[in-house]
Structure formats: structure tokens, C-alpha cells
Structure 1
């Protein structure tokens, strides 16, 4: 009987992992709605993390009128993932990503209010996983966007322009072939100083367009990098 129970438990665990992988694969193909539904249906930390990621990415390709509601849903999924697993670096990252995207669609006061929460979640993700390349990218972008807003935003949030390059360099050292990292690096450099950083941004974009996309989202990033590069040349 005990052997049968252990076998059943093992089979259940394997099925759950396979289903979580299915949700991730579905998202990689660009089917974010299905990925979000499948991830949430797992009622697990990994599942809700996938659902949060899918919903945030889905917001980026949805009409502006739908973005805020989708990003708030992504926040909810990420918070549920953290509740189920407080040691999930990915869950904290997805919370930060949803917060960050939502801040782009709110007023300056609301954005500054979210800024502290975003950094807190990113630092937590890095503490849990020091090789979390996406978290370093997000932290670099966080510093760039707030430093670019001017002295008041930097003073309130503690954002520093001199922390942009170190964070991106860490991310690229970990994952040198990720197109999004190069694109966001270029965007951040241009935010800090469009004129003096133009050549460095072009170099990052040239590297980005030389890389091979793997997922639907990589292809989106590749197209964005090419468009940005063409505009700068």
C-alpha cells in the first residue's frame, strides 16, 4: 500500500511539473491568455508566477485601455505566488515587473509611491537568487527611469544614475544572448543622456539584432531593437 501511495504522489508531482512547463511553453509561443489561465489553475507558487508573467507580457500587447486592469491582475497573481512560497525569487521579480509596468501608466505621485515597492521586490529577488539576470536588468532600468525624472525623484526614491551600467553589466555577464537585456540597456543609456550615450546605445542595439530569438517575446524584442537602431542611425 505504501508503495502505491508513493507512486501516486510521484506521478502527481510529475504531472504538476509537466503542466507548469506546458504553461511556460504556451507563453513562449505568445499565447499569454492561455498561459495565464493554465498557470493560475495549478494553484501553486510556480503556476501563479507564470500567470503573473503571462498577464504582464500580455498587457504590453494589449490596448492602452486594458493595460492597468491586466497589470493589477498580474500583481494579484504575483502576490498569491509569494504567499504560497515566500522564497520564490521569480515571484518577487514578477511582482516588481507588474508594479513597474503599472507605474508607467499612472501619474508621477503614484509612480513614486510604487518605486519603493519595486526596488524592495527586486532586491529580495536578487537576495534569493544572486544570478537572476532579469532582476538586475529591472534594477538598472529602475535607476535610469527615476534618475531621468530629475533631482526630486532621485532624492525621494534613492535612484542613482551611476547604478545603471553596473546592473546591466551584471545581467549581460549572466545572460549575454538575451535580446531584451541589450534593448533595455540601450533604452536606459538614452534615458540618462541621449547625446553622450548615443554611440554606446547603438552598440548594444547592434548586438541585440545579431542575436537569435527563441520565443515569441524574443521576436518582439528583436523587432523593437531593430526599430530603435534604425531611428538612431
Structure 2
């Protein structure tokens, strides 16, 4: 092959790689949307890109909700690993910081009080970073709302140690649903947060709203069903 043809081949390959990567990421996303979270995580991580690792973290964290409790802690730790790899690949990837925060929040549920409070501080830091990088990330405001609600529910010691505030629950959720009004999980988690701080009537109203929403994939269908069960 002459030099001109070699250069043409190199340029053609360089142009094709981003397209192939995007198609592969979409394939992993499609698997995830079908509920095939393990295949999705493996396919996404195999891309070795920041977006791929972030999707692998998301799939692993949510997939942990489908397995026995004894398996959850290891999966949340694995999701953290994926998220950290996503950050290492691109320190400006807001999704990566959000997924790290989400995995930390879930893992904290399986840790002692002192360790979980330490994780709560790191979680808040990562959520703040995600929002700084993407101020319109509705999921990050949902997570902040839950963060404040769950820590407020633990009492003064937890709020004093972390800076969590019950008054920040509703504003964060209201911002989230304004940014993304058609997501049932936002309303479902809004209801969960209101329950945590003792607002049963408000929680039921949010569950009813979530239960009435349309669902386009496996995860949204689960959220709608969960909301319907809680709205009764």
C-alpha cells in the first residue's frame, strides 16, 4: 500500500471510531433499557470510555435492586469502581460524579453509622460537582433531596455532622421535576423523601402522580408499579 493510501486508511479509521463507539454505547443503553443490566454493564465497560464506565455504574447500581440483599454491597462497590474509572477518563463528566454519589449513597445503607456519615459527605461533594458541571441534571437534584431527607430522618447528630437540612428536601425535588417533569422515578423518590421526613399526605400525592405516568422502559415500568403500590 502506498503512502497516500495508508494515510487515507488511517483517516478513515479515525473517523469511524467515534461513530462505532457511539453505536456501541447505544447498544449497551438498549440492553439496559430492556432490564439486561449485567450485559449492559459489561458491554458499556468494555468500551473503556468515560461514558461507557458511567453507564456501567448506572446499570450495576440499579441492577443491585434486583438481587438478594447479600449481593448488593459488592455490586454497589463495583458501581463505585466503574464511576471512578469514568472520572479518571474524563474529569468533566457530570454523569460520572453523579453515579459515584449514587453508588455511595446505596453503599452507605450497608455500613456503620460513622462510615455512612463519611460517605454522606463524599456523596454531597460529588453531587455538587455533578451539578456544577451540569446545572440541569434533574437526577442530581433528586439525589440531593433524598440526601437531605434521609439524613434529617436520622436526627440531629447526622444533620450536624453533614450539614443536611430538612428544608432543602422540597426545593431540590421541585427543581428536579421542573427540569424533567415526565420521569416517574423523580416523583417516586419525591414521595420516598417526604415519607422520610414525616409528610405522609404529600408522599401519597407524589406516589399517585408517579403511578399515573407513562413508562417507556423496564426501569420506568418498575418505578410506576412501585409508586402504584405505595399510593394505595
Q: TM-score by structure 2 length?
A: 0.96
Q: How far off its partner does 1:132 sit?
A: 0.2
Alignment match, 1:131: 136
**Count, aligned residues:** 227
Is the counterpart of residue 121 in structure 1 residue 126 in structure 2?
Answer: yes
Is the counterpart of residue 89 in structure 1 residue 91 in structure 2?
Answer: no
Alignment match, 1:74: 79
Alignment match, 1:191: 196
Alignment match, 1:217: 219
Is the counterpart of residue 146 in structure 1 residue 146 in structure 2?
Answer: no
1: CA distance, partners of 2:132 / 2:112: 30
2: CA distance, partners of 1:45 / 1:16: 11
Which deviations, in whole Å up to 9, do the C-alpha atoms of 1:145-166 show, x marking residues without a partner?
A: 0011000000000000000000
Q: How does 1:1-233 map to 2 (within 5 A)?
A: 1=4, 2-193=7-198, 197-230=199-232
Over the aligned positions, Cα root-mean-square deviation in angstroms equals 0.9
2: CA distance, partners of 1:111 / 1:190: 21
Matched residue SS, 2:88 = helix
Q: Note the residue ranges of structure 1 that are not aligned, 5 or more in a row.
A: none
Q: Note the residue ranges of structure 2 that are not aligned, 5 or more in a row.
A: none
1: CA distance, partners of 2:193 / 2:79: 24
Would you say the 8 A contact 2:41–2:60 is kept in 1?
yes
- Greater Rg over alpha carbons, structure: 2
2: CA distance, partners of 1:200 / 1:51: 34
Matched residue SS, 1:155 = helix
1: CA distance, partners of 2:70 / 2:167: 35
Most deviating of 217-226 and 129-138: 217-226
Q: How far off its partner does 1:56 sit?
A: 0.5
Q: TM-score by structure 1 length?
A: 0.95
Which deviations, in whole Å up to 9, do the C-alpha atoms of 1:6-37 show, x marking residues without a partner?
A: 22211111001100111111101000000010
Q: How far off its partner does 1:113 sit?
A: 1.3
Q: How far off its partner does 1:133 sit?
A: 0.3
